[in-house]
Structure 1
Amino acid sequence: MVEEEPKKVKIRDQGLAQIESDAELAQRLHKEELAELDRAQIERQRQEEATNAALSEEFDEIQARINADALFAAKLQ
């Protein structure tokens, strides 16, 4: 019975070590997921800004054509 005590202690220590290892892994994965979410959010924001800039430029071009057509129509009359 004296030999069983050290085995129980070793098993418990191994279990505690595994729990600590799992906790560290979980924390690392959590940090990586947060970083990935941040990167994805930044990329979505960048794409949205690019889309808004392109739409604004297109709007300006259409408005310039409308103004040019109105000026041309005024000259024709």
Structure 2
Amino acid sequence: MRRNVDSENITFSDYMEKWLERKKKNVTYGTYRHYEAYSRNHIIPSLGKWQTNKVKDYHIAGFYRAFFLGSLYVS
């Protein structure tokens, strides 16, 4: 049975690390390296401190906006 992320009290960083572990087994090496680099260089530094149950759609939207505008700071 797969648990809902909302029920876990983990940081988004920890969630992304677990996600990367799962993806490593299911995608090609090149795809995994792309996911890993993007996650470690952009997603985790911007959203990693948040608890998964506290990340809201506006946090994701802010990350996206910051990424496309060239500034990756998300508060």
TM-score by length of 1: 0.25
User: Hey, which of these two has a bigger chunk of helix by percent?
Assistant: 1
Report the TM-score, using the length of structure 2 for normalisation.
0.25
